[in-house]
Amino acid sequence: MNNWVLVCVLLVAMGFAYQFGTMRSRSLVDGKARMHSRPVHHGLLVALWCGLPAFTVFLLWSLFEPGILRSAVLNQLPPDMAGLQGHELEVLMRRVQSIASGFGVSDQPAAYELAAAERLRSLQGTGRLAMIASMAVLAVTGLVYALRRLSPALRARNHVEAVFRVLLVVCSTIAILTTIGIVLSMVGEALHFFRFVNPVDFFFGTVWNPRFSTTGAGELGQFGLLPLLWGTVMVSIIALLVAVPVGLMTAVFMAEYAPGWVRALAKPIIEVLAGVPTIVYGFFALVMVGPFFHSAGLAVGLDIRATSALTAGVVMGIMIIPFISSLSDDIITQVPKAMRDGSLGLGATKSETIRKVVLPAALPGIVGAVLLAASRAIGETMIVVLAAGNSPILHANPLEAVSTVTVTIVNQLTGDIDFASPQSLVAFALGLTLFAITLSLNIVALYIVRKYREQYE
């Protein structure tokens, strides 16, 4: 029986259990005793008792069965085979599994392989039966037990509540564990990378020249993070220089000056900017903005490269305008009218009120919005891949080409790659660095928002 069928059968059983529970509950009402819970809760409780234990068994079984079977099969392999290690053992197990599932192998299987496959198949068969049997027993036991417990005094409502709380905790744990898992896997690979390259050379190195992995370990490239980090910082700063003033003033106009219909029309249009795929921004930068800057630079006697930190930064700034304007707009709108009235009542003009009362009151939220936009800019990839020029050299001229952390990750992980070489592994160290930066930005943002919110209320 397929696993999905099994789960469906269990769900159907729970449905029936629910019906039994409510029916039994209704029959209890006849007496004079006041019911603590309503039939719905009794039904739910019975259904949970019927389904949850069986489902737990199912989960645990699915989790541990392969390991147990594997060791059982390994134990009865001939002694000369039992000494196999790592890769060869894996190949052998694959072959045994293929034979057992009836899929077969390309060459003639050896006798001990056939024997192992036979054993595996019989074990799988009995295991399956045992699992289904124990699930059925548990489901029925749970059902009967719960039905017997039903009484007017039973606090089924609270029990059901507790079960759902556990369910919620489990779900949020999954999200948290995923995050931790991602970080740990990156840490693992990054540590692997640091076996090749000294962390000091990585974090404080000023030259980025990884070479190709084919040139051999004898000529290890130089993995200096600083040129990339500086490129990221420069592009992000340019982006923020564009986005913060424009976004903030847009927000002030939207929140304070625009008539209702303008706001209703303009806000969604601005938010579309955030929905444009970044690759589109990338070729917009490459085809339109870069050449424009180049020719504009020629007109005033400046040598501006078409693909440069400036081009990438400006286009990225346009991309993050809606992050700033939309969030700030919401925050400015939330500043109580009483604040504005207080200021206007003292004889302040509208713009004085906005500058001296509304914006300071909204500042924590605005800072949060800016930091959010900043972490977006730091993590942004496609625009810089296309428009920043990919030149990992440390310099301070925004009119020249730069490379960023994200671009370099793309470069190191595309094409022919060997995941044992530092040339590929460096991507994990870079990713981890990037993650640490955006994480600390977010933490700072949260801290600022909290700190000032207290003062405000």
For 349-395, the three-class secondary structure string (H helix, E strand, C coil) is CHHHHHHHHHHHHHHHHHHHHHHHHHHHHHHCCHHHHHHCECCCCCC
What is the rounded CA–CA span in Å between residue 58 and residue 78? Answer: 33
> Which lies closer to other proteins via its Cβ, residue 214 or residue 455?
455
Residues in Cβ contact with 238 at an 8 Å cutoff, skipping those fewer than 6 apart: 309, 310, 312, 313, 314, 316, 317, 398
CB closer to other proteins, 185 vs 349? 349
- Please state the closest distance from residue 358 (CB atom) to other proteins, in A: 10
Binding site for other proteins (CB under 8 A): 336, 338-349, 352, 356-357, 360-361, 455-457
Q: Provide, rounded to whole angstroms, the least separation between the CB of residue 325 and other proteins.
A: 22
Per-residue tokens: 404:
């960023």
Q: Which pair of tokens denotes residue 354?
A: 């906005």
Nearer to other proteins, 195 or 337 (CB): 337
What element of type H or E holds 222?
strand 222-223
Q: How many helices (H) and strands (E) does the chain have?
A: 18, 2
Separation CA 232–CA 406 (nearest Å): 8
Q: Could you tell me if 383 and 320 are in contact, meaning their C-beta atoms sit under 8 angstroms apart? A: no
Rounded CA-CA distance 259/281 in Å is 31
- Of residues 233 and 348, the one with the C-beta less far from other proteins: 348
Q: Of the two residues 333 and 442, which places its CB atom closer to other proteins in the complex?
A: 333
Instruction: Tell me whether residue 245 or residue 342 sits nearer to other proteins (CB atom).
Output: 342
In the complex, least distance from residue 177 CB atom to other proteins, rounded to whole angstroms: 40
Tokens of 392: 């990992």
Give the β-pairing of 222-223 and 208-209: antiparallel
**Which residue type, as a one-letter code, is found at position 313?**
G
Q: Supply 367's token pair.
A: 């800072």
Q: Least CB distance from residue 139 to other proteins, whole Å?
A: 59
CB of 341 to other proteins, least distance (A): 6
Q: Residue 294 or residue 340: which is nearer to other proteins going by CB?
A: 340
Task: Round to whole Å and give the CA distance between 182 and 150.
Answer: 45
Q: Which CB, 210 or 368, lies closer to other proteins?
A: 368
> Cβ(73)–Cβ(96) under 8 Å?
yes
CB of 348 to other proteins, least distance (A): 5
DSSP assignment of 241-275, as one string? HHHHHHHHHHHHIIIIIS-HHHHHHHHHHHHHHHH
Quick one: 60 or 346, whose CB is closer to other proteins? Answer: 346
Q: Which two tokens stand for residue 350?
A: 């509208």
Nearer to other proteins, 180 or 346 (CB): 346
- Shortest distance, position 250 Cβ to other proteins, whole Å: 21
CB of 256 to other proteins, least distance (A): 11
CA gap 319, 85 in Å, rounded: 53
Phi and psi angles of residue 397, each rounded to the nearest 5 degrees, phi first: -90, 110
Q: How far is the CB of 308 from other proteins (least distance, A)?
A: 42
Q: Nearest distance from residue 238's CB to other proteins, in Å?
A: 32
How many Å apart are CA 264 and CA 269, to the nearest integer? Answer: 9
